[in-house]
Amino acid sequence: MIKPPSTVFEQNRKNPVGPTEQSAARSLRGTPRQSTAICRYRALRALFLTTAVLGVLWLPGCATPSSSTQGTSRPNDGGHVPLEATAPAEVVEEATSLANDMLSFETQVLRVSSPVMVNFYTPWCGGCRQIAPIIDALLEEYAGQVKQVKVHAGEALDVIQKQQIIGTPTLIFYVDGREVKRLIGPKFEAQIREGFELVAGSGT
């Protein structure tokens, strides 16, 4: 029996897609569980790519020492003898002072003739923790020649503004109150050693 045109039109309006087409569409979309898994995968991939890009932009061209080489030299870092991971606490303590306000900074850094390395850091800075053993070992090696002044970048806002600190860790070497070398970001032992060698004995 042939259905009237009006009946066919009404049926097509209610069911514009047949059972076969509907099944194919569901298979393309996947189940709700599959759709959720795909969304999670895309979100994780986007998060990973964003983290990777930010890591590159943070310090372009600056290599970050890995945990396996922390506190030691690499074969291509100038051939220096590898440093021990730690130095005697009393040596480091004697060679280190704090300056978290402008008056202390001027007194201990800008108004002295002896060589000073200012270490701008924060306790939560991963790069600061990476280079800490290297600095301690170099302070022991250059005991009596170079003094360290640590500045908490999260507290000494007036100091970091005047010294134009853009990130931590930042190491600045001073002689006679004048800046002679600046290192921004985590560096290898050879790079930090260059700063020590540059100022060691300059004030004596």
Catalytic residues: 125, 128
C-alpha–C-alpha distance, residues 48 and 145, integer Å: 45
- CA 165, 169, 170, 171 dihedral sign is positive
Nearest of 165, 169, 160, 115 to residue 139 by alpha carbon: 115
Phi, psi of 152 (to 5 degrees): -75, 110
Looking at the DSSP bridge assignments, the partners of residue 98 are 150
Per-residue CA distances from 1 to 4, 201 (Å): 9, 109
- CA 140, 141, 142, 146 dihedral sign is negative
